[in-house]
Structure 1
Amino acid sequence: MQIDILIDDPRWQEPGLEHLAQRAADAVGDHLGLPADTELSILACDDARIAVLNTEFRGKAAPTNVLSWPETDLSAEEEGGTPHFSNAGAERPDEAFIGDIAIAYDTCAREAAEQRISMADHTTHLVVHGILHLLGYDHERDRDATLMEGLETVILGKLGVADPYRDN
């Protein structure tokens, strides 16, 4: 997978976001059999910036850990159904762009500390999570959440990252 990363908050340099994001994206692409030329972009920002984006796009005036903007809605119609990610780019065969992700340093660091996990592992999880959203996976309905979380757990396990959904 090809990633264009804009580092808006220099604190993202320390955990090595570029390496973590590429590793996470490659794991998602390999697991789902996506074409190698699949593209996405990531904005690595702080809580202030993501709060503005969250307000603008979701009507929630608060920071969040990760936001995703899919290029195309690939979600399944039925609850628990597999998204149509294999159709990504089908209408535009010359384009492999699947969408944009924003990730907030402050929230990610706080959550990692609260969960007593490394910043690298939490960042990897959030990138996998964001990419799955770009591919049509969601967690709003119970069966969709079960599907998405199960997939995240398998992909993260292949990267040596513990199941983020297990009870500690």
Structure 2
Amino acid sequence: MILPAGESLELELGVSYALPRRGLPAAVSFRRWAAAALQGRVRRADLALRLVDEREGCALNRHYRGKDYPTNVLSFPAELPPGVALELPILGDLVLCAPVVAREAREQGKPLAHHYAHLTVHGVLHLLGFDHIDPREAEAMELLERQILAQLGIADPYRD
């Protein structure tokens, strides 16, 4: 659903760092990137973002996805009990594995901040229900990511 242009967004974003913050984006950057993904799609949202090391990233990926390796981003959409209404709708949680993100950015020759922006946008879109399981869904989600990142002044992350 696309909201009318100019519709303001009320966003609560909690950012936690489970490793030293040196070299990692500030919470204000994550807020900007998440807001860009949410703008025009929801009016109000609450979400949490956690930056982790490879050990925690691997443990979470193993527990929730059955994959024994750390991955760049994990999205956990909120599942509230029926009848529970909150002041701000909770979208869910994002987990970014900092060493994996840094390694991918180096390997892909991308600025680290741009890769964090892309993965934040990607994760937020998952929390909104977008997916990339089949080719049509993947194409639509990637197009939306490109558009959002372009608005942030970030080049197409899928370009070779």
TM normalised by structure 2 equals: 0.86
Question: In the alignment, is the contact (CA less than 8 A) between 2:13 and 2:48 conserved in 1?
Answer: yes
Higher fraction of helix: 1
Aligned length in residues: 148
Please point out which of 126, 148, 159 is paired with 2:141: 148
Please point out which of 43, 49, 60 is paired with 1:53: 60
Q: How far did residue 19 of structure 1 move?
A: 2.2
Question: In the alignment, is the contact (CA less than 8 A) between 1:45 and 1:103 conserved in 2?
Answer: yes
Q: Distance in 2 between matches of 1:106 and 1:158?
A: 27
Q: Report whether the alignment pairs 1:101 with 2:89.
A: no
Among the aligned pairs, what percent are the same residue?
39
Structure 1: any 5+ residue segments left out of the alignment? Answer: 74-89
Q: How far did residue 43 of structure 1 move?
A: 1.0
Partner of 2:28: 19
Q: Secondary structure at the match of 1:137?
A: coil
Structure 2: any 5+ residue segments left out of the alignment? Answer: 1-10
Partner of 1:62: 69
Question: In the alignment, is the contact (CA less than 8 A) between 1:20 and 1:123 conserved in 2?
Answer: no
Q: Distance in 2 between matches of 1:163 and 1:94?
A: 36
Partner of 1:34: 42
Q: Distance in 1 between matches of 2:26 and 2:136?
A: 31
Q: Which amino acid aligns with 2:119?
A: L
User: RCO (CA 8 Å, sep 6+): is it higher in 1 or 2?
Assistant: 1
Partner of 2:158: 165
TM normalised by structure 1 equals: 0.82
Output aligned runs, 1:76-95, within 5 Å.
92=85, 94-95=87-88
Q: How far did residue 17 of structure 1 move?
A: 3.5
Q: Report whether the alignment pairs 1:4 with 2:14.
A: yes
Q: Which amino acid aligns with 1:10?
A: P
